[in-house]
Amino acid sequence: MPTSTPANQATGMPAGSRRRGWLRQALLLVLAMGCGVLVANNPFRPSSENPDATARGYLRFKEILSYVDRDYADSVDTEGLADYAVAQMLEKLDPHSVYIPARDREKTDSFLQSDYDGIGVEFNTFRDTVTVVAPLSGGPAEQAGVQAGDQILSIGGKRVSGAHLTSGQLSQLLRGPRGSSVAIELRRHRLARSLSFSIARRSIPNSSIDAAYLVDDQTGYIKVSRFASNTYDEFKAALADLRHQGLTRLVLDLRGNPGGYLDRATRLADEFIAGSRKIVYTDGKGDQYDSQTYAKVAGEFEEGSLVVLVDEGSASAAEVVAGALQDHDRATLVGRRTFGKGLVQQPIALSDGGELRLTIARYYTPAGRSIQKPYGANYAEYSAELSGRSDRGELQSADSIHFSNKLRFRTDHGRTVYGGGGIMPDVFVPRDSVAHSVYYTKLLSHGVVRAFALNFYQSQKAELEGLRFEQFNATFRITDAQLLSLTAQAAQDGVKADAAAVRRCAALLRNQLKAYIARSAYGTVAYYTVLREQDAELQRALHVVSDSTAQLALLGK
Protein backbone atom coordinates (compact mmCIF):
# COMPACT_ATOMS: atom_id res chain seq x y z
CA MET A 1 0.00 0.00 0.00
CA PRO A 2 1.43 3.42 -0.90
CA THR A 3 0.19 6.27 1.25
CA SER A 4 -0.07 9.96 1.36
CA THR A 5 -0.25 12.40 4.21
CA PRO A 6 -3.25 14.35 5.32
CA ALA A 7 -5.12 17.25 3.93
CA ASN A 8 -7.98 18.79 5.89
CA GLN A 9 -10.57 16.05 5.63
CA ALA A 10 -12.31 16.49 8.96
CA THR A 11 -15.12 18.58 7.56
CA GLY A 12 -15.41 17.00 4.14
CA MET A 13 -13.75 19.95 2.47
CA PRO A 14 -12.95 19.36 -1.20
CA ALA A 15 -9.41 19.73 -2.43
CA GLY A 16 -10.21 23.20 -3.74
CA SER A 17 -8.85 25.14 -6.64
CA ARG A 18 -5.58 24.20 -8.28
CA ARG A 19 -4.62 27.88 -8.24
CA ARG A 20 -2.86 28.28 -4.91
CA GLY A 21 0.53 29.58 -6.00
CA TRP A 22 3.40 29.20 -3.60
CA LEU A 23 1.06 28.15 -0.79
CA ARG A 24 -0.18 25.23 -2.85
CA GLN A 25 3.38 24.36 -3.86
CA ALA A 26 4.45 24.22 -0.22
CA LEU A 27 1.45 22.04 0.66
CA LEU A 28 2.14 19.68 -2.21
CA LEU A 29 5.74 19.32 -1.07
CA VAL A 30 4.61 18.43 2.47
CA LEU A 31 2.07 15.92 1.14
CA ALA A 32 4.51 14.31 -1.25
CA MET A 33 7.19 14.14 1.45
CA GLY A 34 4.86 12.23 3.73
CA CYS A 35 3.26 10.11 1.09
CA GLY A 36 4.81 7.14 -0.57
CA VAL A 37 4.16 3.72 -1.93
CA LEU A 38 3.51 1.85 1.29
CA VAL A 39 3.71 -1.94 1.32
CA ALA A 40 1.68 -3.17 4.28
CA ASN A 41 1.21 -6.46 6.09
CA ASN A 42 4.89 -7.33 6.03
CA PRO A 43 6.10 -8.21 9.55
CA PHE A 44 9.07 -6.24 10.83
CA ARG A 45 12.13 -8.34 11.62
CA PRO A 46 15.42 -6.92 12.99
CA SER A 47 18.36 -7.35 10.66
CA SER A 48 20.72 -10.21 11.41
CA GLU A 49 23.44 -8.86 9.10
CA ASN A 50 25.03 -6.37 11.50
CA PRO A 51 23.67 -6.98 15.02
CA ASP A 52 26.81 -5.84 16.89
CA ALA A 53 26.92 -2.38 15.29
CA THR A 54 23.19 -1.96 15.86
CA ALA A 55 23.58 -2.87 19.53
CA ARG A 56 26.50 -0.46 19.99
CA GLY A 57 24.56 2.38 18.39
CA TYR A 58 21.53 1.70 20.56
CA LEU A 59 23.57 1.62 23.78
CA ARG A 60 25.42 4.82 22.84
CA PHE A 61 22.20 6.71 22.26
CA LYS A 62 20.63 5.35 25.44
CA GLU A 63 23.69 6.34 27.49
CA ILE A 64 23.86 9.89 26.11
CA LEU A 65 20.12 10.48 26.56
CA SER A 66 20.34 9.23 30.16
CA TYR A 67 23.21 11.64 30.97
CA VAL A 68 21.32 14.55 29.37
CA ASP A 69 18.17 13.75 31.34
CA ARG A 70 20.03 13.36 34.64
CA ASP A 71 22.81 15.95 34.54
CA TYR A 72 22.00 18.69 32.03
CA ALA A 73 21.86 22.20 33.58
CA ASP A 74 18.18 22.74 32.73
CA SER A 75 15.14 20.50 32.60
CA VAL A 76 14.80 18.86 29.21
CA ASP A 77 12.06 17.19 27.20
CA THR A 78 13.74 13.83 26.61
CA GLU A 79 10.89 12.53 24.45
CA GLY A 80 11.16 15.60 22.27
CA LEU A 81 14.91 15.13 21.99
CA ALA A 82 14.41 11.49 21.02
CA ASP A 83 11.87 12.48 18.35
CA TYR A 84 14.30 15.05 16.99
CA ALA A 85 17.16 12.53 16.92
CA VAL A 86 15.02 9.98 15.10
CA ALA A 87 13.92 12.57 12.55
CA GLN A 88 17.51 13.61 11.89
CA MET A 89 18.60 9.98 11.56
CA LEU A 90 15.88 9.18 9.03
CA GLU A 91 16.68 12.34 7.08
CA LYS A 92 20.16 10.90 6.52
CA LEU A 93 18.57 7.95 4.72
CA ASP A 94 16.18 9.60 2.28
CA PRO A 95 13.50 12.32 2.23
CA HIS A 96 10.57 9.92 2.62
CA SER A 97 11.50 7.67 5.55
CA VAL A 98 9.62 9.28 8.43
CA TYR A 99 8.58 8.73 12.04
CA ILE A 100 4.97 9.66 12.86
CA PRO A 101 4.37 10.23 16.58
CA ALA A 102 1.32 8.60 18.14
CA ARG A 103 -0.37 11.99 18.56
CA ASP A 104 -0.27 12.56 14.79
CA ARG A 105 -1.23 9.11 13.54
CA GLU A 106 -5.00 9.63 13.54
CA LYS A 107 -4.68 12.83 11.55
CA THR A 108 -2.23 11.21 9.15
CA ASP A 109 -4.31 8.09 8.63
CA SER A 110 -7.55 10.05 8.12
CA PHE A 111 -6.30 11.25 4.74
CA LEU A 112 -6.68 7.73 3.38
CA GLN A 113 -9.91 6.77 5.09
CA SER A 114 -13.14 6.52 3.10
CA ASP A 115 -15.19 8.17 5.85
CA TYR A 116 -14.97 10.08 9.12
CA ASP A 117 -17.34 10.81 12.01
CA GLY A 118 -18.71 14.34 11.96
CA ILE A 119 -21.62 16.52 10.84
CA GLY A 120 -20.66 17.01 7.18
CA VAL A 121 -20.01 20.70 6.60
CA GLU A 122 -17.49 22.62 4.52
CA PHE A 123 -16.45 25.97 5.95
CA ASN A 124 -14.38 29.04 5.17
CA THR A 125 -12.69 31.39 7.67
CA PHE A 126 -12.38 35.08 6.82
CA ARG A 127 -11.44 37.78 9.32
CA ASP A 128 -11.87 35.17 12.03
CA THR A 129 -15.49 34.56 11.04
CA VAL A 130 -16.32 30.94 10.25
CA THR A 131 -18.84 30.66 7.41
CA VAL A 132 -20.53 27.53 6.03
CA VAL A 133 -19.61 27.07 2.39
CA ALA A 134 -21.92 24.11 1.95
CA PRO A 135 -23.40 21.34 4.08
CA LEU A 136 -22.82 17.87 2.65
CA SER A 137 -25.87 16.75 0.68
CA GLY A 138 -27.90 14.37 2.85
CA GLY A 139 -25.52 14.84 5.80
CA PRO A 140 -26.48 15.58 9.41
CA ALA A 141 -25.84 19.34 9.10
CA GLU A 142 -28.05 19.70 6.04
CA GLN A 143 -30.80 17.59 7.59
CA ALA A 144 -30.67 19.74 10.73
CA GLY A 145 -31.21 22.87 8.62
CA VAL A 146 -27.70 24.33 8.28
CA GLN A 147 -27.41 26.41 5.09
CA ALA A 148 -24.60 27.78 2.94
CA GLY A 149 -23.65 31.23 4.18
CA ASP A 150 -24.52 30.59 7.84
CA GLN A 151 -21.87 31.99 10.18
CA ILE A 152 -20.78 29.64 13.00
CA LEU A 153 -20.63 31.44 16.35
CA SER A 154 -19.94 28.52 18.70
CA ILE A 155 -19.33 24.77 18.59
CA GLY A 156 -20.08 22.63 21.62
CA GLY A 157 -20.39 25.75 23.76
CA LYS A 158 -16.93 27.01 22.69
CA ARG A 159 -16.91 30.43 21.04
CA VAL A 160 -15.27 30.19 17.63
CA SER A 161 -16.10 33.59 16.16
CA GLY A 162 -13.18 35.86 16.95
CA ALA A 163 -11.29 33.04 18.69
CA HIS A 164 -8.43 32.85 16.13
CA LEU A 165 -8.75 29.07 15.71
CA THR A 166 -7.05 27.19 12.89
CA SER A 167 -8.98 25.08 10.39
CA GLY A 168 -7.60 21.97 12.09
CA GLN A 169 -8.83 23.11 15.50
CA LEU A 170 -12.27 23.90 14.10
CA SER A 171 -12.39 20.50 12.43
CA GLN A 172 -11.57 18.75 15.70
CA LEU A 173 -14.45 20.55 17.41
CA LEU A 174 -16.87 19.41 14.71
CA ARG A 175 -15.62 15.82 14.73
CA GLY A 176 -16.35 13.32 17.46
CA PRO A 177 -17.56 9.79 18.22
CA ARG A 178 -20.28 8.46 15.97
CA GLY A 179 -23.70 8.96 17.58
CA SER A 180 -22.58 11.81 19.83
CA SER A 181 -24.17 15.25 19.42
CA VAL A 182 -22.63 18.67 19.10
CA ALA A 183 -24.36 21.99 19.76
CA ILE A 184 -23.89 24.61 17.01
CA GLU A 185 -24.88 28.27 17.26
CA LEU A 186 -25.28 30.10 13.95
CA ARG A 187 -25.98 33.56 12.63
CA ARG A 188 -28.10 33.65 9.47
CA HIS A 189 -28.43 36.47 6.96
CA ARG A 190 -31.40 38.77 7.67
CA LEU A 191 -32.34 37.06 10.93
CA ALA A 192 -32.13 39.16 14.07
CA ARG A 193 -31.50 36.25 16.44
CA SER A 194 -28.95 33.48 16.30
CA LEU A 195 -30.01 29.88 15.62
CA SER A 196 -29.10 26.87 17.76
CA PHE A 197 -28.86 23.28 16.53
CA SER A 198 -27.99 20.00 18.20
CA ILE A 199 -26.56 17.76 15.48
CA ALA A 200 -25.83 14.06 15.88
CA ARG A 201 -22.52 13.04 14.36
CA ARG A 202 -22.42 10.11 11.99
CA SER A 203 -20.23 8.54 9.35
CA ILE A 204 -19.52 11.05 6.58
CA PRO A 205 -18.22 9.89 3.19
CA ASN A 206 -14.69 11.16 2.56
CA SER A 207 -14.65 10.88 -1.19
CA SER A 208 -11.41 10.97 -3.17
CA ILE A 209 -13.28 11.57 -6.43
CA ASP A 210 -13.67 15.34 -6.43
CA ALA A 211 -15.69 15.50 -9.63
CA ALA A 212 -17.08 13.14 -12.28
CA TYR A 213 -19.26 14.46 -15.07
CA LEU A 214 -19.74 14.63 -18.85
CA VAL A 215 -18.21 17.67 -20.50
CA ASP A 216 -20.19 16.93 -23.65
CA ASP A 217 -22.19 13.98 -25.00
CA GLN A 218 -19.07 11.79 -25.28
CA THR A 219 -16.31 13.23 -23.09
CA GLY A 220 -16.07 12.40 -19.41
CA TYR A 221 -13.97 14.10 -16.74
CA ILE A 222 -12.93 12.43 -13.48
CA LYS A 223 -10.71 14.11 -10.89
CA VAL A 224 -9.00 11.79 -8.39
CA SER A 225 -7.52 13.74 -5.45
CA ARG A 226 -5.71 10.80 -3.79
CA PHE A 227 -5.67 6.99 -3.68
CA ALA A 228 -7.57 6.30 -0.46
CA SER A 229 -9.15 3.11 0.83
CA ASN A 230 -12.34 3.53 -1.22
CA THR A 231 -10.90 5.24 -4.31
CA TYR A 232 -11.10 2.25 -6.63
CA ASP A 233 -14.74 1.53 -5.78
CA GLU A 234 -15.65 5.21 -6.13
CA PHE A 235 -13.85 5.39 -9.46
CA LYS A 236 -15.54 2.25 -10.79
CA ALA A 237 -18.95 3.62 -9.85
CA ALA A 238 -18.24 7.02 -11.40
CA LEU A 239 -16.87 5.52 -14.62
CA ALA A 240 -19.80 3.10 -14.96
CA ASP A 241 -22.25 5.98 -14.49
CA LEU A 242 -20.53 8.08 -17.15
CA ARG A 243 -20.40 5.11 -19.51
CA HIS A 244 -24.14 4.68 -19.02
CA GLN A 245 -24.58 8.34 -19.97
CA GLY A 246 -22.65 7.84 -23.22
CA LEU A 247 -18.96 8.31 -22.38
CA THR A 248 -16.60 7.18 -25.15
CA ARG A 249 -13.52 9.24 -24.21
CA LEU A 250 -12.12 10.29 -20.86
CA VAL A 251 -9.93 12.90 -19.18
CA LEU A 252 -8.47 11.55 -15.92
CA ASP A 253 -7.22 14.40 -13.73
CA LEU A 254 -4.35 13.45 -11.38
CA ARG A 255 -3.04 16.98 -10.84
CA GLY A 256 -2.12 17.64 -7.24
CA ASN A 257 -2.66 13.96 -6.34
CA PRO A 258 0.08 13.14 -3.79
CA GLY A 259 -0.41 9.36 -3.87
CA GLY A 260 -2.01 6.80 -1.60
CA TYR A 261 -2.54 3.07 -1.51
CA LEU A 262 -0.61 1.34 -4.28
CA ASP A 263 -3.11 -1.49 -4.78
CA ARG A 264 -5.93 1.02 -5.38
CA ALA A 265 -3.76 2.84 -7.92
CA THR A 266 -2.79 -0.33 -9.79
CA ARG A 267 -6.40 -1.57 -9.83
CA LEU A 268 -7.45 1.75 -11.31
CA ALA A 269 -4.71 1.49 -13.95
CA ASP A 270 -5.91 -2.06 -14.71
CA GLU A 271 -9.25 -0.60 -15.81
CA PHE A 272 -7.43 0.91 -18.80
CA ILE A 273 -4.76 -1.70 -19.61
CA ALA A 274 -5.75 -4.78 -21.57
CA GLY A 275 -4.33 -8.28 -21.25
CA SER A 276 -1.76 -9.16 -18.61
CA ARG A 277 0.77 -6.39 -19.16
CA LYS A 278 2.97 -5.18 -16.32
CA ILE A 279 1.78 -2.14 -14.34
CA VAL A 280 4.63 -1.63 -11.86
CA TYR A 281 7.44 -3.51 -10.13
CA THR A 282 9.51 -2.87 -7.01
CA ASP A 283 13.14 -3.68 -6.30
CA GLY A 284 14.76 -3.58 -2.84
CA LYS A 285 17.74 -4.98 -0.95
CA GLY A 286 17.75 -8.70 -1.62
CA ASP A 287 14.43 -10.02 -2.86
CA GLN A 288 12.27 -9.70 0.26
CA TYR A 289 10.40 -6.65 -1.01
CA ASP A 290 10.63 -7.32 -4.74
CA SER A 291 7.26 -7.54 -6.45
CA GLN A 292 5.65 -7.32 -9.87
CA THR A 293 2.08 -6.24 -10.53
CA TYR A 294 0.29 -7.11 -13.76
CA ALA A 295 -3.06 -6.26 -15.30
CA LYS A 296 -5.45 -9.13 -14.62
CA VAL A 297 -9.07 -8.04 -15.12
CA ALA A 298 -11.16 -7.07 -18.10
CA GLY A 299 -11.20 -3.33 -17.48
CA GLU A 300 -14.12 -0.94 -17.86
CA PHE A 301 -12.28 1.30 -20.38
CA GLU A 302 -9.52 -0.63 -22.13
CA GLU A 303 -10.32 1.05 -25.45
CA GLY A 304 -11.28 4.61 -26.20
CA SER A 305 -9.47 7.94 -26.14
CA LEU A 306 -7.81 8.61 -22.78
CA VAL A 307 -5.90 11.69 -21.55
CA VAL A 308 -4.28 11.94 -18.11
CA LEU A 309 -3.63 15.36 -16.58
CA VAL A 310 -0.50 15.61 -14.39
CA ASP A 311 1.57 18.36 -12.84
CA GLU A 312 4.36 18.92 -10.32
CA GLY A 313 1.96 17.95 -7.53
CA SER A 314 1.27 14.47 -8.97
CA ALA A 315 3.36 12.09 -6.88
CA SER A 316 3.92 8.51 -5.80
CA ALA A 317 0.95 6.26 -6.65
CA ALA A 318 -0.31 8.89 -9.10
CA GLU A 319 3.00 8.55 -10.94
CA VAL A 320 2.62 4.77 -10.97
CA VAL A 321 -0.66 5.15 -12.87
CA ALA A 322 0.67 7.83 -15.23
CA GLY A 323 3.89 5.92 -15.91
CA ALA A 324 2.14 2.63 -16.66
CA LEU A 325 -0.35 4.24 -19.05
CA GLN A 326 2.42 6.13 -20.83
CA ASP A 327 4.76 3.14 -21.12
CA HIS A 328 1.99 1.08 -22.72
CA ASP A 329 0.95 3.97 -25.00
CA ARG A 330 -2.54 3.69 -23.57
CA ALA A 331 -2.98 7.37 -22.68
CA THR A 332 -1.68 10.77 -23.66
CA LEU A 333 -0.25 12.66 -20.70
CA VAL A 334 -0.90 16.41 -20.63
CA GLY A 335 0.52 18.98 -18.20
CA ARG A 336 3.93 19.27 -16.56
CA ARG A 337 6.60 16.96 -15.15
CA THR A 338 5.42 15.12 -12.05
CA PHE A 339 6.95 15.37 -8.57
CA GLY A 340 9.39 12.44 -8.80
CA LYS A 341 8.54 10.19 -5.84
CA GLY A 342 9.61 6.61 -6.49
CA LEU A 343 10.43 5.13 -3.07
CA VAL A 344 8.41 2.44 -1.32
CA GLN A 345 7.74 2.77 2.42
CA GLN A 346 6.99 -0.03 4.89
CA PRO A 347 4.66 1.12 7.71
CA ILE A 348 5.87 -0.31 11.02
CA ALA A 349 3.73 0.11 14.14
CA LEU A 350 5.86 1.02 17.15
CA SER A 351 5.34 0.17 20.80
CA ASP A 352 4.73 3.82 21.74
CA GLY A 353 1.77 4.05 19.34
CA GLY A 354 3.76 5.86 16.70
CA GLU A 355 4.62 4.58 13.25
CA LEU A 356 7.85 4.29 11.29
CA ARG A 357 7.51 4.53 7.52
CA LEU A 358 10.79 3.12 6.28
CA THR A 359 11.92 3.05 2.65
CA ILE A 360 12.43 -0.58 1.70
CA ALA A 361 12.44 -0.50 -2.12
CA ARG A 362 12.14 1.58 -5.27
CA TYR A 363 9.35 1.24 -7.76
CA TYR A 364 9.75 1.13 -11.53
CA THR A 365 7.40 1.63 -14.46
CA PRO A 366 6.84 -1.24 -16.94
CA ALA A 367 9.60 0.07 -19.22
CA GLY A 368 12.06 0.04 -16.30
CA ARG A 369 12.02 3.73 -15.37
CA SER A 370 12.77 4.84 -11.83
CA ILE A 371 10.75 7.99 -11.24
CA GLN A 372 12.56 9.01 -8.03
CA LYS A 373 14.39 12.29 -8.48
CA PRO A 374 17.92 12.62 -7.02
CA TYR A 375 18.17 13.43 -3.32
CA GLY A 376 21.71 12.65 -2.13
CA ALA A 377 22.43 13.69 1.45
CA ASN A 378 21.16 17.29 1.25
CA TYR A 379 17.60 17.38 2.53
CA ALA A 380 17.34 21.16 2.13
CA GLU A 381 18.12 20.98 -1.59
CA TYR A 382 15.57 18.22 -2.09
CA SER A 383 12.94 20.30 -0.32
CA ALA A 384 13.68 23.25 -2.61
CA GLU A 385 13.58 21.23 -5.83
CA LEU A 386 10.08 22.34 -6.87
CA SER A 387 10.87 26.03 -6.47
CA GLY A 388 14.09 25.33 -8.36
CA ARG A 389 12.05 24.16 -11.34
CA SER A 390 10.38 27.56 -11.40
CA ASP A 391 13.72 29.37 -11.20
CA ARG A 392 15.07 27.30 -14.09
CA GLY A 393 12.02 28.02 -16.24
CA GLU A 394 10.89 24.38 -16.26
CA LEU A 395 7.31 25.31 -15.39
CA GLN A 396 7.08 27.64 -18.37
CA SER A 397 8.98 25.84 -21.12
CA ALA A 398 9.56 22.19 -21.92
CA ASP A 399 12.87 23.15 -23.50
CA SER A 400 14.19 24.03 -20.04
CA ILE A 401 13.85 20.42 -18.88
CA HIS A 402 16.85 18.20 -19.53
CA PHE A 403 17.11 14.43 -19.08
CA SER A 404 20.21 12.29 -19.23
CA ASN A 405 20.50 10.09 -22.33
CA LYS A 406 21.59 7.30 -19.97
CA LEU A 407 18.05 7.29 -18.58
CA ARG A 408 16.33 6.89 -21.94
CA PHE A 409 13.65 4.19 -22.28
CA ARG A 410 11.14 3.09 -24.92
CA THR A 411 7.38 2.67 -24.73
CA ASP A 412 5.56 -0.28 -26.29
CA HIS A 413 5.38 1.59 -29.59
CA GLY A 414 8.97 2.81 -29.48
CA ARG A 415 8.47 6.34 -28.21
CA THR A 416 11.30 7.80 -26.13
CA VAL A 417 10.61 8.43 -22.44
CA TYR A 418 12.96 9.19 -19.56
CA GLY A 419 13.48 8.13 -15.98
CA GLY A 420 15.32 9.70 -13.11
CA GLY A 421 12.98 12.45 -12.00
CA GLY A 422 9.23 12.36 -12.46
CA ILE A 423 7.06 11.55 -15.48
CA MET A 424 7.36 13.97 -18.39
CA PRO A 425 4.00 14.43 -20.15
CA ASP A 426 3.54 13.96 -23.88
CA VAL A 427 1.97 17.41 -24.23
CA PHE A 428 3.52 20.19 -22.13
CA VAL A 429 1.33 23.01 -20.83
CA PRO A 430 3.09 25.90 -19.06
CA ARG A 431 1.93 26.87 -15.60
CA ASP A 432 -0.41 29.85 -15.49
CA SER A 433 1.83 32.62 -14.15
CA VAL A 434 -1.16 34.84 -13.37
CA ALA A 435 -2.77 32.14 -11.22
CA HIS A 436 0.47 31.91 -9.26
CA SER A 437 1.07 35.66 -8.97
CA VAL A 438 1.61 37.11 -5.51
CA TYR A 439 -1.55 39.24 -5.49
CA TYR A 440 -3.87 36.50 -6.72
CA THR A 441 -2.54 33.88 -4.31
CA LYS A 442 -2.83 36.31 -1.40
CA LEU A 443 -6.47 36.94 -2.25
CA LEU A 444 -7.16 33.20 -2.18
CA SER A 445 -5.08 32.41 0.90
CA HIS A 446 -6.74 35.16 2.92
CA GLY A 447 -10.16 33.71 2.09
CA VAL A 448 -11.31 37.01 0.55
CA VAL A 449 -12.62 35.56 -2.71
CA ARG A 450 -14.66 32.80 -1.10
CA ALA A 451 -16.03 35.15 1.57
CA PHE A 452 -17.12 37.65 -1.09
CA ALA A 453 -18.80 34.87 -3.08
CA LEU A 454 -20.65 33.59 0.01
CA ASN A 455 -21.92 37.07 0.84
CA PHE A 456 -23.09 37.48 -2.74
CA TYR A 457 -24.83 34.11 -2.66
CA GLN A 458 -26.64 35.01 0.55
CA SER A 459 -27.85 38.35 -0.80
CA GLN A 460 -28.98 36.88 -4.14
CA LYS A 461 -30.12 33.46 -2.94
CA ALA A 462 -33.75 33.83 -4.04
CA GLU A 463 -32.79 34.87 -7.57
CA LEU A 464 -30.22 32.10 -7.91
CA GLU A 465 -32.70 29.46 -6.77
CA GLY A 466 -34.96 30.57 -9.62
CA LEU A 467 -32.28 29.82 -12.21
CA ARG A 468 -31.17 26.49 -13.57
CA PHE A 469 -27.38 26.11 -13.58
CA GLU A 470 -27.31 26.18 -17.38
CA GLN A 471 -29.02 29.61 -17.30
CA PHE A 472 -26.68 30.86 -14.60
CA ASN A 473 -23.56 29.67 -16.41
CA ALA A 474 -24.64 31.21 -19.71
CA THR A 475 -25.68 34.62 -18.39
CA PHE A 476 -24.00 35.39 -15.07
CA ARG A 477 -21.01 37.75 -15.08
CA ILE A 478 -19.05 39.46 -12.31
CA THR A 479 -19.27 43.21 -12.95
CA ASP A 480 -16.46 45.75 -12.75
CA ALA A 481 -18.16 47.28 -9.70
CA GLN A 482 -18.22 43.91 -7.93
CA LEU A 483 -14.55 43.37 -8.74
CA LEU A 484 -13.70 46.79 -7.29
CA SER A 485 -15.72 45.95 -4.19
CA LEU A 486 -13.76 42.71 -3.79
CA THR A 487 -10.39 44.45 -4.06
CA ALA A 488 -11.50 47.12 -1.58
CA GLN A 489 -12.55 44.43 0.87
CA ALA A 490 -9.20 42.69 0.37
CA ALA A 491 -7.34 45.95 1.06
CA GLN A 492 -9.13 46.23 4.41
CA ASP A 493 -7.83 42.75 5.19
CA GLY A 494 -4.24 43.71 4.42
CA VAL A 495 -4.06 42.64 0.76
CA LYS A 496 -3.25 46.00 -0.79
CA ALA A 497 -4.76 46.72 -4.17
CA ASP A 498 -2.45 47.07 -7.14
CA ALA A 499 -4.28 48.34 -10.21
CA ALA A 500 -1.94 46.56 -12.61
CA ALA A 501 -2.17 43.29 -10.65
CA VAL A 502 -5.96 43.51 -10.54
CA ARG A 503 -6.16 44.04 -14.30
CA ARG A 504 -3.77 41.15 -14.86
CA CYS A 505 -5.79 38.63 -12.86
CA ALA A 506 -9.28 40.07 -13.51
CA ALA A 507 -10.40 37.18 -15.74
CA LEU A 508 -9.26 34.58 -13.19
CA LEU A 509 -10.92 36.46 -10.34
CA ARG A 510 -14.22 36.71 -12.19
CA ASN A 511 -14.08 33.02 -12.98
CA GLN A 512 -13.16 31.98 -9.43
CA LEU A 513 -15.90 34.14 -7.91
CA LYS A 514 -18.45 32.70 -10.30
CA ALA A 515 -17.27 29.18 -9.50
CA TYR A 516 -17.61 29.71 -5.73
CA ILE A 517 -21.11 31.15 -6.18
CA ALA A 518 -22.01 28.17 -8.37
CA ARG A 519 -20.62 25.83 -5.69
CA SER A 520 -22.97 27.24 -3.07
CA ALA A 521 -25.99 27.42 -5.36
CA TYR A 522 -25.65 24.30 -7.52
CA GLY A 523 -22.99 21.96 -6.11
CA THR A 524 -19.55 20.56 -6.87
CA VAL A 525 -20.05 19.70 -10.55
CA ALA A 526 -21.17 23.27 -11.20
CA TYR A 527 -18.02 24.52 -9.47
CA TYR A 528 -15.71 22.48 -11.71
CA THR A 529 -17.75 23.27 -14.81
CA VAL A 530 -17.24 27.00 -14.27
CA LEU A 531 -13.53 26.62 -13.43
CA ARG A 532 -13.02 24.80 -16.71
CA GLU A 533 -13.30 28.08 -18.61
CA GLN A 534 -9.97 29.35 -17.25
CA ASP A 535 -8.19 25.99 -16.92
CA ALA A 536 -5.64 25.98 -19.74
CA GLU A 537 -4.40 22.47 -18.93
CA LEU A 538 -7.88 20.97 -18.99
CA GLN A 539 -8.79 22.85 -22.17
CA ARG A 540 -5.70 21.39 -23.85
CA ALA A 541 -6.57 17.92 -22.57
CA LEU A 542 -10.11 18.20 -23.94
CA HIS A 543 -8.72 19.22 -27.31
CA VAL A 544 -6.33 16.25 -27.36
CA VAL A 545 -8.89 13.69 -26.23
CA SER A 546 -11.38 14.78 -28.90
CA ASP A 547 -8.83 14.71 -31.77
CA SER A 548 -8.34 10.97 -32.24
CA THR A 549 -5.99 11.33 -35.22
CA ALA A 550 -3.64 13.67 -33.39
CA GLN A 551 -3.74 11.50 -30.28
CA LEU A 552 -2.85 8.36 -32.20
CA ALA A 553 0.12 10.21 -33.68
CA LEU A 554 1.24 11.30 -30.21
CA LEU A 555 1.02 7.70 -29.01
CA GLY A 556 3.05 6.42 -31.96
CA LYS A 557 0.17 4.31 -33.28
pLDDT tens per residue, range 447-488? 899 999 999 998 999 899 899 999 999 999 999 999 999 999
124 in Cβ contact with 100 (< 8 Å): no
CA distance 430 to 400: 11
Residue 342 contacts residue 372 (beta carbons within 8 Å): yes
Residue 25 in this model has a pLDDT that exceeds 70: no
Residue 427 vs residue 16, higher pLDDT: 427
Task: Provide the pLDDT for residue 446.
Answer: 84
388 has a pLDDT exceeding 50: yes
Question: Among 67-81, 114-128, 233-247, 400-414, whose mean pLDDT is lowest?
Answer: 114-128
Q: What is the pLDDT of residue 201?
A: 95
Which residue would you say has higher pLDDT here, 353 or 498? Answer: 353
For the stretch 138-176, pLDDT in tens is 889 999 999 888 899 999 999 998 888 888 889 889 999
State pLDDT tens for residues 85-120. 999 999 889 999 999 988 888 777 777 787 889 999
pLDDT of residue 485: 94
Query: How much of the chain exceeds pLDDT 90, in percent?
Result: 63
Query: How much is the pLDDT for 52?
Result: 84
pLDDT at position 221? 98
Q: Going by C-beta distance under 8 Å and a sequence separation of 6 or more, which residues neighbour residue 176?
A: 117, 118, 182, 201
Q: What one-letter code names the amino acid at 150? A: D
pLDDT bin (cut points 50, 70, 90) of residue 35 is: low
Q: Would you name the residues annotated as active-site residues?
A: 316, 327, 341
Q: Is the pLDDT of residue 17 over 50?
A: no
Query: From the CB of residue 187, how many other CB atoms can be counted at a distance below 10 Å?
Result: 17
Residues 436/396, Cβ–Cβ less than 8 Å: no
| pLDDT tier for residue 5 given thresholds of 50, 70 and 90 | very low
Residues near 349 by beta carbon (within 8 Å), at least 6 away in sequence: 355
Contact present, 120 and 142 (Cβ < 8 Å): yes
Of all residues in the chain, what percent carry a pLDDT higher than 70?
A: 91
pLDDT score for 359: 92
* pLDDT averaged over every residue in the chain: 88
Average pLDDT of span 384-388: 87
**268-292 pLDDT per residue, tens:** 999 999 999 999 999 998 888 899 9
Over residues 229-239, the mean pLDDT reads: 96
pLDDT of residue 205: 85
Residue-level pLDDT at 104: 83
Cα 287 to Cα 336: distance, rounded to the nearest angstrom: 34
Helix, strand, coil percentages (3-state) for the chain, rounded to 5, are 40, 20, 40
Q: What pLDDT, on the 0 to 100 scale, is given for residue 12?
A: 33
pLDDT at residue 527 is higher than 50: yes
